[in-house]
Amino acid sequence: MLNKNLNQKLFDKDVEQIPTRNGYGEGLVVLGEENPNVVVLSADLTESTRAEAFSKKFPERFIEIGVAEQNLATIAAGLGISGKIPFISSYATFSPGRNYEQIRTTIAYNDSNVKIAGAHAGISVGPDGATHQATEDIAIMRVMPNMKVIVPCDVIEARKATIAAAKIWGPVYIRFGREKSPVLTTETTPFIVGKAQLLWVPSEKRKVKKPDVLIVGCGPLLHNALCAAKALEDEKINVSVMNVHTIKPLDEDSILNHAGHAGAVVTLEEHQIAGGLGGAVAELLAKKLPLPIEFVGMEDTFGESGKPNELIEKYGMGVGAIKDAVKRVIKRKTQSV
């Protein structure tokens, strides 16, 4: 049963589809109006990271760096310790990819108030191929002290996350996708950094006391999770779907509560299964509540060129793959009892 706070048309064939990076662009403009200290830096990707609207509206607070991601991070570091709130815009493979050490030393360890926007994350980047498909960025950012990590699931959440990032002190990494993806939330869906949210729970009509599995996901792939949840219901398998948009700080209480309730977990992300959301959830459960987990994501491999949906299917993150993972984990759950 779909959470009432969500877009009730999200299962429609003609569901509205917008890239999450657009939400970043919209959020920047809102912030530009609200706060004169917000500045935006771009490394020659102003249009495609959607920083363009801000650059036109607030040219005196927009800084073009050129193709130089290390400079992007370090100039922002200087601004961030001088009272500004810099947002740095590039593709995630370059920032936080190429400039990892600069982010570590001059932003995170330096506790500079910089917000890192990594666009074109995940394999759904599509035809550009693996060089441009960031599938390790969540891992490298979440292990960094002082860093917060947010992965919005749709354009509206992306806008809210961008605005929220400016209002919390310190370094934040926000991940955006290139491809159009279904609008899952609405203007009134609550969004609080660090607070996970159930998108789907077993239907009341089914009179089940608890779900069989908790699916924990982040990003636009949550649409596939919801489609899987709906399809599984027809097969009399009951799941809950949780949106963990904030990977760090992780909403441990909500995850433990609902994972414990279900007794088994499937994690889902457009990222390597090692080190990302799945890794974070596994660390938590191993420490506090060991349960069977299955991981849906990139299996220690790079992507390739192709259409976004073809890639999602080929690399095992489609609706079918999620359903299979749910069934696998249920089997393990009954075996372990």
Partner 1 sequence: MTYFHEDELKYLEGVATRIREKIIEMLLEAGSGHSAGPLGMADIFTALYFNVLRHDPKKPKWPDRDRLVLSNGHICPVQYVALAYAGYFPLEELMTLRKIDSRLQGHPHRGTLPGIETTSGPLGSGLSQAIGMALAAQMDKKKYWTYCIASDGEHQEGNFWEAVMFAGKNKFLNLILIVDRNNIQIDGYTEKVMQLEPLRAKYEAFNWHVLEIDGHNIEDFVDAVSEAKAIYEKPTVIIAHTIPGRGVSFMERDYLWHGKPPTKEEAERALLELRTLGKRIESEHE
Q: Which residue do the tokens 């992306």 mark?
A: 158
Cβ of residue 46: shortest distance to partner 1, in angstroms?
16
Cβ of residue 85: shortest distance to partner 1, in angstroms?
11
Which residues form the interface with partner 1 (CB under 8 A)? 39, 60-61, 63, 65-66, 68, 70-71, 74-84, 86, 101-102, 105-106, 109-111
CA-based radius of gyration for the chain: 19
Cβ of residue 183: shortest distance to partner 1, in angstroms?
36
Pick between residue 53 and residue 81 the one whose CB is nearest to partner 1. Answer: 81
Cβ of residue 98: shortest distance to partner 1, in angstroms?
10
In the annotation, is 235 catalytic? Answer: no
Pick between residue 82 and residue 334 the one whose CB is nearest to partner 1. Answer: 82
Longest dimension (CA), the chain: 63
Given the residues 26, 69, 157, 179, the one annotated as active site: 69
Pick between residue 84 and residue 159 the one whose CB is nearest to partner 1. Answer: 84
Q: Spell out where 139-235 has E strands.
A: 148-150, 172-175, 180-182, 197-200, 213-217
Pick between residue 60 and residue 234 the one whose CB is nearest to partner 1. Answer: 60
Q: Spell out where 23-114 has E strands.
A: 38-42, 62-64, 85-91
What separation, in Å, do the N-terminal and C-terminal C-alpha atoms of the chain show? 28
Q: How far is CA 233 from CA 23, 175, 200, 208, 265, in A?
A: 32, 31, 11, 11, 17
Active site residues: 69
